[in-house]
Structure 1
Amino acid sequence: MAWTRQLSSGKYQGCYRDALGREQSAGTFTQRPKALREASRLESEQREPGAVDVEGGKITWGAWFELWHESRNLSYATDDCYRSTADNHITPHWGKVPLKDITTLEVSKWVKGMLKPRRRTERKRSPWTVRNALMLLKTSLNAAVEAKRLGANPAKPVPYPDLPEGVERYLTPDEVEGITFYMDGFNALIVWLGVNTGLRFGELAGLHWNRIDFDRKVIHVVEQFNQKSRTISPLKDKQRRTVPLPADLTGKLLQYREHAARGRGSTCGLTHDISRCGGDLLFRGARGAPIKSNDWGKTIWRKALDLAGVEGRVRPHDMRHTYASWLIQEGVSVAELAELMGHSSWEITKMYAHLSDTGFDGVRDALDRRRGKVTPVEPAVPAVDVEVLAAQLADMQRQLSVLKGYTAPIAADMPRTPEDYGGLEIAR
């Protein structure tokens, strides 16, 4: 039951006990009945199922992030990226702030401060960086709500910053040819498989032979290699899918299978978090270990890029973007692409939609109809060598005369010299 306590200031403090029997304060009031009512209301809420753990909201964001993040099943690259974002952009500001003290207004001010710092000594962050930091903060606070440490997510109403328009970096077929030219057959096959299937690097590293159906020419994408735990783990967003294989790539895989069969085992030798192992991995490093995106990207991939003269920041993950860009430019719909890429939402796939010219012809026809007519395109008139044409006509007339049994004189009105053509300039 709730009660009040009179303070030395003459005011009244409302008190109650939460669901765990711990004493809690409902605040300080000038009137005793008001303090008692507020304490009784909070005590009733605490007794209801799913009530917020008041004590749990006192944990700092930094401590909560460590507690929450350790429980997540993430790939090595994703885990490293999130920790870097937290250490560099979130923890310096929110690390020592209790969850219950984080407000929507303060989160908005934090976002604005990163985009437009007040002091020259403060570093300005890019919209992409701020977006990623805000996304991680929101996700962590959503988890706090689910854990009953918060009643609502204070960062949820804060909008993401607008992103500048720019052209994404995709590889052209010539660039892929150049990159694979400077690789051995094993690593070149990894690249060709990446740009022709859109598999994430972890999916390539965790691909097993039994997941390839050579008769149907498809790959069943079911699992991935987790670099952090060194296990075969579920896919991102658990989006299993089937991806078709081009005929030429199927042939390369068959040749590689014959070469790799001598050292292939019955299992991959790694722990599987899902299903049972049905065969060996397609790709293994020099010492037999699964390939890792960081090691492979900084050595094999980087060296080939430099030798091929490919400019710009191009990552192994851009093989996946290249796959998407090639398909969308060939008329594959966003819905089909989302299915092939294993995206949980079409919104993610729409980033490639600007590469498609689908529907442009229909738009042009509609505009032409609106104007009332279609502008005719006049054919180009080839240059004429008048002297050659005249000689050909004269020769044809002589041959015709021979066929008729007589030789006809050349017509008197047939032009013989350039002047006879009205002074036209004759092509020579």
Structure 2
Amino acid sequence: MGYAKKRIGKDGKPRYTACYLDLRGRVRSAGTFTGKRDADRAWQQAEVKQREGRVGDPRRGRRTFGEYVQETWFPNHVMEPRTRETYRYNLDAHILPWFTGMRMAEIMPADVREWVTDQSNRGLGPNVIDKNMTILSAIFTTALNDQMTFLHACRGVKIPEVPKKPLQIITPEQFDLIYGKLSDAVLQLLVEVDIESGMRWGELTELRPRDLNLTTGIVTVSRAVVELSPKDHPTGGRFLVQEYPKNKKYRRFKISRQVVDKLQTYIQSTGLGTDDLLFPMPDQDLPAVQIGLPTEPDEPALTEPNAKGRQYRHGTITAYSMAPCRCQPCKGAYAAYRAKRRAAGKDNPRKRRRRDTDGHIPGDWFRKQVWHPAVEAAGIGRRVRVHDLRHAHASWLLAGGADLQVVKERLGHGSIATTQRYLHTLPTADETALNALDRIRGRSTA
């Protein structure tokens, strides 16, 4: 029950403060008035709004954006650990520097539009601006529910269009070239399981023998590992195992008998236990990529003429230094030369950097030390990501006639529209249409 509290002002005249109790039983003010009747009307209206759920305190909107985000929103907002790490970076780099000193109630859509324009002028791409806008919109959605503001400042604000690039799917022949450049048998098996299953990297590197049924060939995906910075890890580590995959949904699928037999032989020969990692971190001192002859059999034996018109044989230190040639045979010869000198204690060698890991394979280490060198050595001629193996798996299945719903469940997609993106993505997808066009044109010509 509210009341009007009387007090005497500096001018000696009485004034009345409208007081009421909030949901926590604390005394709140609905304003100060010259008459008791106006004060009674104010606290009664405040209680009516409170019963209707329209609880408002003007002082909430006086908090700055930086205070609200850093003290209330970010610490208490529920999100995945990897998402929290990404949000922290984007907030510190692109959002807080612009809005941190502004009051929540004073941020208008015009301010957000100006912020979007500033990002474009600084050269940020549409994908980065879209990500930043998603974070800012989530902040104002929560602030609106918390009644920190009564206006969603992101509503109606447009951002640059994010272009949808077509998927470039590697062909089976290109995959075989990359596979052949991996000299480590365990890494070859890892890549083969990846293309056979279409698993995400965090699911594949967390796989353990107990997740495989070697009799039926069924794989159960029930966990995933994510790599975090120590400040975002609950215990200050690097790897965090989540007891659920993406979309919080377990899935089961079958792999070929050929791969199952390879896995069975590998598990028995290495003596892996049921709870051991199926693909642990390999020895960082061993080369994982084969450095051999040029990929093209008709490639000339000599390098291109240098500035003095001289040519050198590929695969030699002279070709690397004097040509200078950066083909795989020349780079391999120079790497072997440097390794030999380091092993002999020459050139004041520094210790090789080693990744600190709990047994899981770091994604960036695998990309830089294994995958990218193998792609370059294979001579594919374009950038191929590890995640592209998942795209290739889906595309190959659909091109081979697999059911769309089966592929969706196999990959763990949340929507079948995501799976449909992989229809007709192989380079040979339009051949049927071209053949039909040729038949019609041939008929009219005849």
TM-score, scaled relative to structure 1:
0.65
* CA deviation after TM superposition for structure 1 residue 235, in Å: 2.1
The equivalent position to 2:240 in structure 1, one of 228, 231, 240, is: 231
Determine whether 1:45 maps to 2:115.
Answer: no
Q: Kindly tell me: are residues 176 and 106 of structure 1, through their superposed partners in 2, closer, same or farther at Cα, counting changes over 3 Å?
A: same
Question: How far, CA to CA, are the matches of 1:13 and 1:340 in structure 2?
Answer: 69
Question: How far, CA to CA, are the matches of 1:300 and 1:258 in structure 2?
Answer: 25
Equivalence for 1:307:
377
Equivalence for 1:139:
138
The equivalent position to 2:108 in structure 1, one of 96, 103, 125, is: 103
Q: Kindly tell me: are residues 93 and 168 of structure 1, through their superposed partners in 2, closer, same or farther at Cα, counting changes over 3 Å?
A: farther
Determine whether 1:282 maps to 2:278.
Answer: yes
Contact 1:2 1:36 in 2 (8 A): yes
Determine whether 1:74 maps to 2:86.
Answer: no
Equivalence for 2:365:
295
Give the secondary-structure state (helix, strand or coil) at the position aligned to 1:352.
Answer: coil
Contact 2:168 2:425 in 1 (8 A): no
Equivalence for 1:325:
395
* CA offsets 1:157-214 (integer angstroms, 9 cap, x no match): 5456422242334333233222222221112222222222221111112212212223
State the AA in 2 paired with 1:232: V
State the AA in 2 paired with 1:249: V
* CA deviation after TM superposition for structure 1 residue 48, in Å: 4.9
Question: How far, CA to CA, are the matches of 1:303 and 1:30 in structure 2?
Answer: 80
The equivalent position to 1:92 in structure 2, one of 93, 97, 102, is: 97
Q: Kindly tell me: are residues 166 and 111 of structure 1, through their superposed partners in 2, closer, same or farther at Cα, counting changes over 3 Å?
A: same
Equivalence for 1:214:
214
State the AA in 1 paired with 2:226: N
Contact 2:167 2:425 in 1 (8 A): no
RMSD over aligned CA atoms reads: 4.5
* CA offsets 1:89-118 (integer angstroms, 9 cap, x no match): 222222333444443443344334434x4x
Higher alpha-carbon Rg: 1
Equivalence for 1:256:
266
Equivalence for 1:410:
none
* CA deviation after TM superposition for structure 1 residue 36, in Å: 7.6
Give the secondary-structure state (helix, strand or coil) at the position aligned to 1:355.
Answer: coil
Question: How far, CA to CA, are the matches of 1:13 and 1:97 in structure 2?
Answer: 33
* Unaligned 5+ runs, structure 2: 234-238, 283-356
State the AA in 1 paired with 2:396: W
TM-score, scaled relative to structure 2:
0.63
Q: Kindly tell me: are residues 321 and 238 of structure 1, through their superposed partners in 2, closer, same or farther at Cα, counting changes over 3 Å?
A: same
Question: How far, CA to CA, are the matches of 2:112 and 2:404 in structure 1?
Answer: 34
* CA deviation after TM superposition for structure 1 residue 363, in Å: 13
Question: How far, CA to CA, are the matches of 2:399 and 2:16 in structure 1?
Answer: 68
Equivalence for 2:344:
none
Give the secondary-structure state (helix, strand or coil) at the position aligned to 2:422.
Answer: helix
* Aligned length, in residue pairs: 350
Report the identity percentage. 24
Question: How far, CA to CA, are the matches of 1:176 and 1:217 in structure 2?
Answer: 23
* Unaligned 5+ runs, structure 1: 118-122, 267-278, 369-373, 382-428
Contact 2:209 2:278 in 1 (8 A): yes
